[in-house]
Amino acid sequence: MTHTAHQAGPATKPPYAGTRPPRLHQIPAFTDYIAQHWGSEPIPVDLPEGTAPAAAAHRRRLSAALPGRTIVAAAGTAPIRNDDCAYGFRADSDFVWLTGVQVEGAVVVMTPVSGGHETTVYLPPPFRPGEDGFFGNAMHGELWVGASPGLTEWSRALDVAVRDVAELDTSAGLSSTNGPVLATAVVPETLRRSHSMEVSAELGRALAQLRMIKDDWEIAQLRHAVDASVGGFAAVAGEIPRAIDEGLGERWLQGTFDRHARTHGNGPGYSTIVGSGPNAPVLHWTRCDGPIRPDGALLLDMGVEARSLYTADVTRTLPASGTFSPAQRQVHDLVEKSHRIAMSHVRPGVNYLDFHFAAMEVLAEGLHDWGLLPVSVDEALSPAGQQHRRYIVCGVGHHLGLDVHDCSKAEWEDYMGADLQPGVVMTVEPGLYFHTNDLSVPPELRGIGVRLEDDLLVTDTGAEVLSEALPIDAAGIEQWTRRHMPSA
Ligand code: GLY
Ligand code: MN
Ligand code: MN
């Protein structure tokens, strides 16, 4: 259906044959009639419990970090796919962190006042009966996209001032007396130009620093996302026999997880990876269009994004048959060893990169023992060597939160160069990836890819593995797989 549907339909003998018929909104008889006889119930705002106070606390932290500065962030808009059909909208994470709002086109302005900032959220109001947009705007008209809460309901739910986004251009709050207005990159360019706002590295850095330390509400959201993801792994394992027997392949397992993620959260937190056999070593195998090899290792990298938009990011490599081959097990055991040692370096006060170096050392030693390194372990581990990275060109972890690679634009010294602190949530995800055409490894290792990825919360005394409901040892994974795949 397209928005041209709101042109008048042809009469039996159109009086305007050969000429353009009037648009519906140009026909008073129609606009008068469609404006009448609609019931109206207020639509409540549906936010995950605790969203508004959590967002208010986030704003207080940002306010304290940037006193006296005017701050503007925006939700963004979905790219158009064709005509009035857009790609799925997903609000910008900085905006969601500050407001909890997931409304396309929304903007938040934080104006400095004595003692902090005053917040106004600007929203595109729904087009209600009586407005042309009600039937004529395919993106925001209630007849097209459904009814949604009005500004009053939003204001009550968020406990902040909420205004029509159309008022933003003339908003007094956008003038700044204390340096330029600081904007996130998502703030529309037209608005930035008309108010001399700058996409602010200072604001970006402050947001990244603050978002790296999760509060209790965020941790609860991440726990929920991880628990839902564990459920998704079980759902996928249960479908392995069918995906093999009926030839449904990786697509079926991808669809199984994504449906689970949509049902138990907002959706997948990133493009689901289902790589069977020779596809398992392909790091970003999001094509997911191959068969499930009955004897292959099956790499599943899948995360549920909660309704609050916090996401999990978990990987397990399962034996599709229920039992690893000796070569698969050999690779898995080395990755497990690397994973355990890396995770033991995740605790407060330890430099962020320690877990990375610990993981790499174990992998390099193992690869050397297998005769796969052309140099000594020390040479490989030296900054000028890195030959072991042939089998793992990716990193082995990252911060996790509203984005799967959370705070990825943070300065090096705030992220890689910083010490871990309580409240950090991060992944640890070593792996080994032997491609089918990698002639540097013996044939039995070719086409094996293994990754173990867990989500860890740094606590006051150490770390908690949020995803520990899934086993990490090969025997435990075999048992778990068989339990969820009854016909194996
Ligand atoms: N799934 C993306 C990652 O593991 O970083
Ligand atoms: Mn990851
Ligand atoms: Mn992952």
Ligand 1: centre distance to CA 286 (Å) = 11
How would DSSP label each residue in 98-123? HH----TT-EEEEEEETTEEEEEEEE
Q: Choose one of 274, 404, 451, 456 to mutate for the ligand 1 pocket test, by most ligand atoms within 8 angstroms of C-beta.
A: 404
pLDDT at 10: 55
Q: Name the token pair of 139.
A: 């993106």
Q: Dihedral of CA 125/103/165/7: which sign? A: negative
CATH code, 175: 3.40.350.10
Pocket residue to mutate for ligand 1, from 257, 282, 302, 427, most atoms within 8 A of Cβ: 427
> Is the pLDDT assigned to residue 212 strictly greater than 80?
yes
Read off the amino acid at residue 468.
E
CATH number reported for the structural domain that contains residue 333 in this entry: 3.90.230.10
Picking from 481, 472, 474, 476, the residue whose alpha carbon sits closest to that of residue 340 is 472
Q: Which of 470, 78, 438 is nearest to 280 (CA)?
A: 438
Instruction: Identify the domain boundary among 179, 211, 243.
Output: 211
Q: How confident is the model at residue 109 (pLDDT cuts 50, 70, 90)?
A: very high
Share of the chain above pLDDT 90, in %: 88
Does residue 23 form part of some domain? no
Q: Is the CB of 300 under 6 A from ligand 1?
A: no
- Polymer length of the chain: 488
Q: Which of 303, 214, 209 is nearest to 262 (CA)?
A: 303
In the prediction, which pLDDT does 19 show?
86
Query: Taking all residues of the chain, what is their mean pLDDT, rounded to a whole number?
Result: 95
Residues 6+ apart with CB under 8 A from 207: 62, 94, 97, 184
Residues 418 and 361 in one domain: yes
Residues 488 and 484: their CA atoms lie apart, in Å, by: 9
The answer as to whether 17 is a domain residue is no
Whole-number Å distance, alpha carbon 109 to ligand 2 midpoint, is: 33
Q: Ligand 1 pocket test: which of 302, 313, 392 has the largest number of ligand atoms within 8 Å of its C-beta?
A: 313
Mean predicted confidence (pLDDT) in 280-292: 98
Report residue 6 as tokens.
Answer: 């709101």
Q: What percent of the chain has pLDDT over 70?
A: 96
Residue 37 lies in a domain: no
* Residue scoring higher pLDDT (175 or 1): 175
Single out the residue in 186, 211, 236 at which a domain terminates.
211
Is there a domain that residue 46 lies in?
no
392 and 407 share a domain?
yes
The total number of structural domains that make up the chain: 2
Whether the pLDDT of residue 427 is over 70: the answer is yes
Amino acid 179: pLDDT: 77
Pocket lining: 239 vs ligand 1, CB cutoff 6 Å: no
Q: Which helix or strand (DSSP H or E) is residue 64 part of?
A: helix 51-65
DSSP H helical segments within 370-451, as ranges?
377-381
| Whether residues 171 and 270 fall in one domain | no
Model confidence pLDDT, tens digit, residues 453-475: 999 999 999 999 999 999 999 99
Look at residue 9 in the predicted model and tell me its pLDDT: 56
DSSP 44: P
Distance separating alpha carbons of residues 243 and 202, to the nearest angstrom: 49
Same domain, 187 and 218: no
Ligand 1 pocket check for 305: Cβ under 6 Å = no
| Any ligand 1 atom below 6 A from CB of 429 | yes
Q: Within a domain: residue 10?
A: no
Cα gap 385→377, rounded to integer Å:
9
Is it the case that residue 2 has pLDDT exceeding 70?
Answer: no
- Give the mean model confidence (pLDDT) for residues 433-441: 98
Given a cut of 60, is residue 103 above it in pLDDT? yes
Q: In sequence order, which residues have a C-beta less than 8 Å from that of residue 9 and are 6 or more positions away?
A: none
User: Which numbered ligand comes closest to the C-alpha of 316?
Assistant: 3
Distance 455 CA to ligand 2 centre (A): 9
Dihedral sign (CA 212, 218, 221, 223) = positive
For residue 163, give its domain range. Answer: 51-211
103 and 198 fall within a common domain: yes
Q: Strand locations in 124-236, DSSP E? A: 161-164, 181-183, 197-199
One domain for residues 206 and 247:
no
How confident is residue 12, by pLDDT bands cut at 50, 70 and 90? Answer: low
Q: What residues are paired with 107 via a beta bridge?
A: 74, 122
For ligand 3, an ion, list residues with CB under 5 A.
Answer: 301, 313, 315, 453
168-183: per-residue pLDDT in tens? 987 767 776 667 899 9
Residues 146 and 234 in one domain: no
Q: Residue 134 in contact with residue 127, Cβ under 8 Å?
A: yes
pLDDT tens per residue across span 64-102: 999 999 999 999 999 999 998 999 999 999 999 999 999
The interaxial angle of helices 216-238 and 51-65, nearest 10 deg, is 130
Residue 5 has pLDDT above 50, yes or no: no
198 and 295 part of one domain: no
Average pLDDT over residues 346-356: 98
In a domain, 373, yes or no: yes
* Dist CA 143 CA 127 (whole Å): 9
9 falls within a domain: no
Same domain, 102 and 137: yes
pLDDT at 4 over 60: no
The answer to whether position 165 is within a domain reads yes
- Are residues 306 and 193 part of one domain? no
Kindly indicate the confidence band of residue 7, based on its pLDDT and cuts at 50, 70 and 90. low
Residue 11 has pLDDT above 90, yes or no: no
Same domain, 97 and 169: yes
Domain end marker among 211, 243, 272: 211
Q: What is the mean pLDDT of residues 258-279?
A: 98
The Cα 488–Cα 472 span in angstroms is 20
Same domain, 449 and 366: yes
